[in-house]
Amino acid sequence: MRTIQQAIQVQFTYGVHFTEGLFRLENRTLLHVLQQDGSTGPRKVLFVIDSGVAEAHPQLVRDIAAYAAHYPEAIRSVAEPVIVPGGEEAKNNPALLNQLVEAVHTFGVCRHSYLIAIGGGAVLDLAGFAAAIAHRGIRHVRIPTTVLAQNDSGVGVKNGINSFNKKNFLGTFAPPFAVINDSHFLLTLQDRDWRSGISEAVKVALIKDAAFYTSLKQNAGKLAARDMVAMQDQIFRCAEMHMEHIGGRDPFETGSSRPLDFGHWAAHKLEQITNYELRHGEAVAIGIALDVTYSALTGMLNQAERDDVLSLLQDLGFALYIPALSATEPDGELQILRGLTEFREHLGGELTIMLLDRIGNGVEVHQIDHALMTQAVEMLKEWHPQPRKLIVTT
């Protein structure tokens, strides 16, 4: 036997930039980001915009055109922005992927050009997948417009679409050229979308950083009341922690461990059961509540900490139980439990689920007791926080 062994080391570097009013003419953030490629002359750029963002910001297309015209030495917009439906439809309709790939072909977007996507996480996933497969990879800049995308999904290296009724079945690991978080886009979010992304901050705090969890508790009222400074602070810290993890030992998830997906095995299944009427962040909040309750039932987590987490989620405005959580298969088993199998199949290898043994410390387990998880569902259905004692100091 003769063998040629090849080893390839590739370093990926990209920045997550924070700004406000990205397309104001005096804001040079995008200009500086594009100039990092070191080339001279205008870069060919194709913009993709989430339809919900376009509706909430009717001047956006004009602002992009004016911005490109103001910096002709750096930006050449090759066509009118492509507007695609936002939300889970972006990931459920394969025709939209074909539309973006065809636009890349039609307008001559090459590997030295840019596909810049502006929208929520689903549109960023779709556009990132199109950018990754066209020409085997073109430069992609993400401009997330939701809390969830700015603090979690938009800053990572994953993208994809749903297929075979499975979440993110088709996709790639493809780091973006850059991510730009513009807080101006958060101002027009519906309350559900403002709140939804906070669950990802709770998630990462619970498994990695007790101090961050305490900060979220202290600012829960401000976050629920749409305080922008509190939101910007949690987005920055949450994005920072996600980036720290991605830069670690297994950024492309070649193993079976998915620590940042705490609460997600149930969340992904709940989204499917509800036909994606449930926001991802809302589903994650329920998934966190379920796994925290299960952790307590196993004896890993004490009851006081369980109650503390459930109370925080409620203070932030999340429902911790919906009837879909109790939906059953013909054999009587909870539908949600099928999510464990799908979660394992997505990566392969052994089942690996993140649980808690204390706030700020996640522990991986490889078996889930279905009867105990069913009990956890029933406990969430019946759970009501105890009235809090008012302590008055003088």
Residue 386 has pLDDT above 70, yes or no: no
Residue-wise pLDDT tens digits, 84-134: 999 889 999 999 999 999 999 999 999 999 999 999 999 999 999 999 999
Quote the pLDDT of residue 143: 98
**Spatial contact of 316 and 220, defined as CB atoms under 8 Å apart:** yes
Residues of the chain by 3-state class (helix, strand, coil), percent to 5: 50, 15, 35
Residue 391 has pLDDT above 70, yes or no: no
State what percent of residues in the chain have pLDDT above 90: 79
Residue-wise pLDDT tens digits, 245-285: 887 766 776 665 566 789 999 999 999 999 989 999 999 99
Residue-wise pLDDT tens digits, 41-92: 899 999 999 999 999 999 999 999 999 999 999 999 999 999 999 988 999 9
Quote the pLDDT of residue 168: 86
**Spatial contact of 142 and 117, defined as CB atoms under 8 Å apart:** yes
- Torsion, Cα 289 293 298 301, to 10 degrees, reads 80
Rounded distance between C-alpha atoms, residue 371 and residue 350, angstroms: 20
Quote the pLDDT of residue 66: 97
Rounded distance between C-alpha atoms, residue 255 and residue 24, angstroms: 43
Residue-wise pLDDT tens digits, 5-37: 999 888 888 999 999 999 999 999 999 999 999
Tell me the mean pLDDT in the region 139-150.
96
Residue 340: how many CB atoms within 10 A of its CB? 18
**Spatial contact of 105 and 112, defined as CB atoms under 8 Å apart:** no
**Please, what's the b/e burial string for 250-282 (b: 16 or more CB within 10 A of its CB; e: otherwise)?**
eeeeeeebbbbbbbbbbbbbbbbbbebebbbbb
Residue 392 has pLDDT above 60, yes or no: no
Tell me the mean pLDDT in the region 186-198.
94
**Among 165, 367, 117, which residue's Cα sits nearest to residue 276?**
165
Average pLDDT value for the chain = 91
**Taking the mean position of all CA atoms in its chain, how far away is CA 297?**
29
Least confident of 59-68, 148-157, 301-310: 148-157
Between helix 121-133 and helix 94-106 the angle, nearest 10°, is 50
All structural domains of the chain, each given as residue ranges with its CATH number in brackets, are 15-188 (3.40.50.1970), 191-382 (1.20.1090.10)
Quote the pLDDT of residue 209: 94
Residue 390 has pLDDT above 50, yes or no: no
**Taking the mean position of all CA atoms in its chain, how far away is CA 10?**
25
**Among 284, 269, 279, which residue's Cα sits nearest to residue 345?**
269
Quote the pLDDT of residue 384: 59
Give 366's Cβ-side CA count (13 Å radius).
5
Tell me the mean pLDDT in the region 207-229.
95
Quote the pLDDT of residue 315: 94
Quote the pLDDT of residue 254: 66
Give 345's Cβ-side CA count (13 Å radius).
9
Q: What is the 3-state secondary structure (H, E, C) of 72-137?
A: CCCEEECCCCEEECCCCHHHHCHHHHHHHHHHHHHCCCCCCCEEEEEECHHHHHHHHHHHHHHHHC
- What is the band of 199 on the pLDDT scale with cuts at 50, 70, 90? very high
State what percent of residues in the chain have pLDDT above 70: 94
* Phi, psi of 87, rounded to the nearest 5 degrees: 70, -170
Quote the pLDDT of residue 342: 85
Residue 289 has pLDDT above 90, yes or no: yes
Quote the pLDDT of residue 134: 97
Residue-wise pLDDT tens digits, 327-342: 999 988 999 999 998 8
Rounded distance between C-alpha atoms, residue 261 and residue 156, angstroms: 13
Rounded distance between C-alpha atoms, residue 99 and residue 101, angstroms: 6
For residue 354, the cross-strand partners are 364
Residue 378: how many CB atoms within 10 A of its CB? 13
